[in-house]
Structure 1
Amino acid sequence: MSQYSGFERKIAFILTKFPGLKSGVKKLYQRVNYLRYKKNYNFKSDYSIKRLALKNKESYFGYYDKSPINSTNEYIIFQSTNIDTKSMPDPKIPVDMVVYNVEHDSYEVVGESYTYNWQQGTKFMWIDEYRFIYNDFDESRKQYISKIYDVKTKETKVIDFPIYDCFEDKFAISLNFEIVRADYSYSNLGLKIDWEDNSNDGLYYIDIKSNSSKLIISLEDIIKLNYKETMKGAKHKFNHVMISPDGTKMMFMHRWFLNDGRRYDTLYVSNVDGTDIKIVSDDDMVSHCFWYDDTYIFAYLRDKTMGDKYYMLDINSNKKEPIGEGLIDKFGDGHPHVNGTNIIFDTYPDKARMKSLYKYNYTNKKLGEFLESFDFYGETRCDLHPRFSFDGKKVFFDSVHEGQRGLYMMELENN
């Protein structure tokens, strides 16, 4: 069995108290296991899979909460890289913004961006049937911005602020991209962060129509709301903002880091204007979440009584229900994407360095497994980050099983 056992995950949890030691022990243990369990194939799937990329270029989409295909299934967007993604991004070398025409099987480069990372890209997302938004950097103004591109008119509109998540073309929520984790951050400004000033940084409401921005929740607001002894002298940041499907609420994580590297998380929900802030999960660890609907959040997190697993969270009652016990929780953490009652999720590399895709709807259905070599590791890793198409008939994922980063499309319709 090449999956990591519950006992092995418990040892990993104990080592989280010693971050420096954990990193070295983890990588050595993974390399030893790979030599023992490695497969004689790089991927396996019973489904039709197509790689979407410009010739001889690496491609990827980004995070798991958005789909690269538009709602009419006519266009797919992705980033095409001009550097080897085994290395860290270079803010002096842009990624190309590519539109793939599904009907004509053709590619068009429609822009470029100097503001990106390998995990979340440029925060690419569709805001209506034919327009998408992405982040960029204005060198002349030394300012992060975002751009809206219309695939029909070929017109580009500039917004004077970067976005983290958008609701249609009405508003967005943003944060300080210079202080999030290195594999999610931008480094164009190279700011020296004042970690002691938490009053002037936090979550921002971006009015797309008026091209304006305002701070709605500061880090200091949250620290005062839910102060813990571990926060003293810690470095604080917000991350993983997701707007509810109806555009009225948002979830966000407050993370704080101690000097020895230990991390703590709390998950919050508020109105999108920053009012009515509620704690949703506060047991030290929150990982990957997705709005199941406007009332429930599907999330992998810690409950000090029930353990680390997937839960369905009711944001009104704060009730927490384990989901898929004995099925999806045995794989540990992953990236879930919801379409109706179907949930697609990935796994982290097993002992053979294979990552798997599963579709869950009260039972599991394995969609495939894909190799991630040690060439892609840590901040240059390539999580599968699976996403459904809007109609649920396709799945998109990023993978490096062919030795390069690539965006792949899997057809589910006839299976």
Structure 2
Amino acid sequence: MMMNRRTFMRSSVACSALLATGPAWIGKTAYKTPVRITKGPSGHWFGYYDKWQVDPSGRFALGCRVGFEERSPLGSDKLEIGLIDLEEGNRWKKIGETNAWGWQQSCMLQWIPGSSQEVIWNDRQGDTYVSRTYHIQTEQTRTLPEPIYTLAPNGSFAIGTAFNRIQNLRPGYGYAGISDPYQHIKAPDEIGLYTMDLKTGSTTSLLSLADLAAIPHLGEDVSDNWHWFNHLLVSPDSKRLLFLHRWRPEILENQIMARTGFVTRMITVDTAGKDLYVADPSGNSSHFVWRDPNHILVWTRPVGKQNGFWLIKDKTKEMELIGEEAMDRNGHNTYVPQTNEEWVLNDTYPDKERKITLYLYHIPSNRKVILGKFHSPERFVGEWRCDLHPRCDQQGRRVFFDSTHEGSRQMYYLDISDIVGS
């Protein structure tokens, strides 16, 4: 059904699906009332946008539960891990807990790619961070010796980095409970990136912080800064790693500084730590996703160009601006599965009215479909803000997201099969 641009719909949950404006197209209405799959009084959420929340069958979703809001986690605060049966009234089953988590990325909870039975998350064991795997059929848990940041799409290995280092230099993205042993060293050689075999737990160091600090940035020496790695992601063919190398000139003094005052460059490297390439040297890289083994869609402002979502070809200078008008604000972008990378799922940060927009963008037709606008109460700010972090199920037919528009942190989904399938 085609709609006039002044047409709109309202819902009982105060969400709206407005038609996006654009010079070359008119969108169609896509509004459906979100289905809430968790309820209070406890808060529930999943975490980051680049991981599988739902199993390959589409029946089971993962989630986290916590009994407090509006403060930073302490090392003693436990997070409950749950399995939600979407076909049995969204029944919650506790499958574990963790002392290693944060508000933005939770505990890196996710399904192991290719598996319909095994999930993984990070935890703390004594004075070390580890990861746990759980088999939903046998209900057995295994412990791996290092925490994970991201998993290879082939399901065979993980990539990790030092979470206490992240917490020291970007609070809210690391974990409380274990201090950074190198907190007085600007670019330690002892920590950096590593791979871990998901079956054996065998780990291999790839790159150290000292290695990256020694590489000049736009011709300038950056070694005399405090360095860390963040936001790791493995290419679809499991052959290359993408990550952000960040640094700041001084140690943090407060939470306001945690969100500002650092420089970023986006790096790719192979899984042996070789063939390193600075994919975006601008210093502005933010959220990103691999489109295929050779291309990365990233929000950035390349040197001499405008802000936007740029499709960058790895190991080349080739780049293309995607959705110049439709996707003109930073958000958490992914490609909708099973759509030949034609559809992008995205969100925004809160606008002046504290509404977060959730939308789809169809690249070939330059068509934007707004799925809803969700109010974020003012108390959800800073480290404990609740970004939607939208993610699809593995069939690409439902969008799952975290939201506070009903007053507490809960999880929801929307069916998009009639949009991406048409």
Q: TM-score, normalised by structure 1?
A: 0.86
Q: Is the 8 A contact 2:299 2:307 kept in 1?
A: yes
Q: Match for residue 7 of structure 2?
A: none
| Gap regions ≥5 residues in structure 2 | 1-11, 18-30, 251-256
Q: Match for residue 162 of structure 2?
A: 176
Which deviations, in whole Å up to 9, do the C-alpha atoms of 1:75-109 show, x marking residues without a partner? 100101122x2222232121111001122222201
| Gap regions ≥5 residues in structure 1 | 1-39
Q: Match for residue 79 of structure 2?
A: 95
Residue 414 (structure 2) pairs with residue 404 (structure 1): no
SS of residue in 2 equivalent to 1:291 = strand
SS of residue in 1 equivalent to 2:286 = strand
2:178 counterpart (182, 189, 192): 189
Moved over 6 A (4+): none
Give the distance between the partners of 1:116 and 1:133, measured in 2 at CA.
13
Shift of 1:225: 3.0
Residue 335 (structure 2) pairs with residue 334 (structure 1): no
1:251 counterpart (242, 245, 248): 242
Residue 216 (structure 2) pairs with residue 212 (structure 1): no
Give the distance between the partners of 2:221 and 2:384, measured in 1 at CA.
30
Shift of 1:146: 0.4
Q: 1:42 to 1:185 in 2, by over 3 A?
A: farther
Q: Match for residue 240 of structure 1?
A: 231
Shift of 1:197: 4.2
Shift of 1:51: 1.7
Shift of 1:226: 3.2
Shift of 1:153: 1.6
Q: Is the 8 A contact 1:354 1:371 kept in 2?
A: yes
Which deviations, in whole Å up to 9, do the C-alpha atoms of 1:159-216 show, x marking residues without a partner? 0110001125421110010122211110111235133342111101112222122221
Alignment-mate amino acid for residue 251 of structure 1: L
Give the distance between the partners of 1:149 and 1:171, measured in 2 at CA.
16
Q: Is the 8 A contact 2:216 2:222 kept in 1?
A: no
Q: Is the 8 A contact 2:73 2:176 kept in 1?
A: no
Give the helix-richer structure, 1 or 2. 1
Give the distance between the partners of 1:100 and 1:92, measured in 2 at CA.
25
1:202 counterpart (182, 192, 206): 192
- Count, aligned residues: 372
Q: Which moved more, 1:246-255 or 1:217-226?
A: 217-226
Shift of 1:42: 4.2
Percent identity, aligned pairs only, is: 28
The correspondence of residues 19-168 of structure 1 with structure 2, limited to 5 A, is 42-45=14-17, 46-53=31-38, 55-83=40-68, 85-105=69-89, 106-127=91-112, 128-139=115-126, 142-167=127-152, 168=154
Q: Is the 8 A contact 1:54 1:80 kept in 2?
A: no
Alignment-mate amino acid for residue 352 of structure 2: K
SS of residue in 1 equivalent to 2:130 = strand
SS of residue in 2 equivalent to 1:178 = helix
Q: Is the 8 A contact 2:213 2:223 kept in 1?
A: no
SS of residue in 1 equivalent to 2:211 = helix
Q: Match for residue 295 of structure 2?
A: 296
Q: Match for residue 352 of structure 1?
A: 353
Q: Match for residue 11 of structure 1?
A: none
Q: TM-score, normalised by structure 2?
A: 0.84
Alignment-mate amino acid for residue 138 of structure 1: Q
Shift of 1:41: 7.1
SS of residue in 2 equivalent to 1:410 = strand
Which deviations, in whole Å up to 9, do the C-alpha atoms of 1:266-313 show, x marking residues without a partner? 111111221111110001111000011111111101112221111001
The correspondence of residues 252-401 of structure 1 with structure 2, limited to 5 A, is 252-259=243-250, 262-329=261-328, 332-339=329-336, 340-361=341-362, 362-401=366-405
Alignment-mate amino acid for residue 250 of structure 1: L
Q: Is the 8 A contact 1:246 1:294 kept in 2?
A: yes
Q: 1:412 to 1:48 in 2, by over 3 A?
A: farther
Q: Is the 8 A contact 2:226 2:247 kept in 1?
A: yes
Q: 1:153 to 1:55 in 2, by over 3 A?
A: farther
Q: Which moved more, 1:97-106 or 1:41-50?
A: 41-50
Q: 1:89 to 1:44 in 2, by over 3 A?
A: farther
Give the distance between the partners of 1:353 and 1:66, measured in 2 at CA.
26
Q: Is the 8 A contact 1:195 1:236 kept in 2?
A: no
Shift of 1:112: 0.5
